[in-house]
Structures are given as C-alpha cells and as structure tokens.
C-alpha cells in the first residue's frame, strides 16, 4: 500500500532524487532536435537550478521557488503545444526509467500539464 501521508516530493525520493531527475530530464530535452534550439542562449546551470526548485514545489516539497513567473520566462519564445507535448514526453520517459510507479507518474504529469497555458500562451482547451 502507498503511504498517503507522504507527499509526491517524498515518494520520488526527495531533494537529491529530484536534482538527479532534472539532470537526466534536461539531457533528454537538449538531445531532442526540435527542443534543443530553444535552449542555445540559456544558462543550463541556472535553468536546472530553477527547475529543481520548481519541480520540488510542484510536488509539495518544502522548498521555495525563487525563479521568475513561468509566463514571463516562456512568453515570446514560440513554444507551441507541440513542443510542450514533446517536453512532457521526455519527462514521462525520465520518470519511468527511474522506476517511479505509474500512479505517481500520472499525478506528476497531471500537475505539470496545468502549466501548459502559461508556457505556451495558449489557454485554449488541451488538444
Ligand atoms: C510545464 C513545463 C515547463 C516548466 C515547469 C518550465 C519551467 C521553467 C523554469 C522554472 C525556468 C527557469 C526560470 C528562471 O530562470 O527564472 C525555465 C526556463 C526556460 N524554459 Fe521552461 N518550463 C517548461 C516548459 C518549457 C518548454 C516546453 C520549453 C521549450 C520548448 C521551455 C524553454 C525554456 C527556456 C528556453 C528557458 C530559459 C530561459 C532563459 O534563458 O532565461 N520550457 N522553464
């Protein structure tokens, strides 16, 4: 039985596990020919640091996100729903390759999908 008292943050293994997960995830993202061009002018160190915080907060971890609002960071970069779907696909692959159970993967992706509008600027229905 799953311990319902644990947060998702705890269930995936806490701070160290998330740090490692984000590293592996971004290795996949920047190896994707359709996503790589978005990141050529970005500081990947800072991005990974902010993403660790952001994911930790999104999974109910005891962390504060110190980055900029997601809509500001992503606005005007030409990120579409298609790019968003590729990005989420890499996240699913990363989570599954770490043996995180299907229910937790679904919960995590459900939370991440709620940011699709802020990232793409497209607040229409998910399609
Ligand atoms: C739910 C999905 C996503 C989340 C939660 C997310 C989160 C973040 C965060 C926390 C940062 C750092 C903010 C800061 O520096 O203050 C960031 C930066 C960035 N993100 Fe995302 N992101 C998502 C999807 C995407 C997608 C799909 C793309 C491109 C295809 C993308 C491209 C970028 C780029 C290029 C930066 C760096 C901006 C810079 O150089 O300052 N993101 N993202």
Q: Which tens digit of pLDDT belongs to each residue from 73-127?
A: 999 999 999 999 999 999 999 999 999 999 999 999 999 999 999 999 988 765 4
Question: Can you tell me the distance from the alpha carbon of 100 to that of 93, in angstroms, rounded to the nearest whole number?
Answer: 10
Ligand 1 pocket, residue 55 CB under 6 Å: no
Maximal CA-CA distance, the chain: 45
Please determine, for residue 2, whether its predicted confidence score (pLDDT) is greater than 70: no
Which two tokens mark 59? 């999974």
How far lies 103's CA from each of 70, 84, 92, 108, in Å?
Answer: 26, 21, 12, 9
Q: What is the pLDDT of residue 127?
A: 47
CB 84 within 8 A of CB 120: yes
Distance 69 CA to ligand 1 centre (A): 10
End-to-end CA distance of the chain: 34
Whole-number average pLDDT of the chain: 94
69: phi then psi, degrees, rounded to nearest 5: -60, 140
Residue 84 near ligand 1, beta carbon < 6 Å: yes
Residue 125, pLDDT score: 60
pTM of the model: 0.92
Is 112 close to ligand 1, i.e. is its CB under 6 Å away? yes
Residue 34 CB partners (closer than 8 Å, separation 6+): 83, 86
């Amino acid at each position: 039985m799953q311990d319902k008292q644990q947060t998702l943050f705890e269930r995936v293994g806490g701070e160290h596990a998330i740090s490692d997960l984000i590293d592996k995830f971004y290795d996949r993202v920047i190896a994707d020919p359709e996503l790589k061009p978005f990141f050529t002018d970005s500081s990947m160190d800072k991005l990974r640091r902010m993403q660790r915080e952001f994911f930790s907060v999104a999974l109910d971890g005891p962390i504060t996100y110190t980055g900029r609002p997601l809509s500001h960071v992503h606005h005007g970069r030409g990120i579409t729903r298609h790019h968003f779907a590729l990005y989420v696909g890499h996240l699913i692959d990363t989570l599954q390759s770490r043996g995180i159970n299907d229910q937790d993967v679904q919960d995590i992706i459900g939370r991440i999908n709620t940011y699709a509008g802020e990232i793409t600027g497209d607040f229409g229905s998910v399609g």
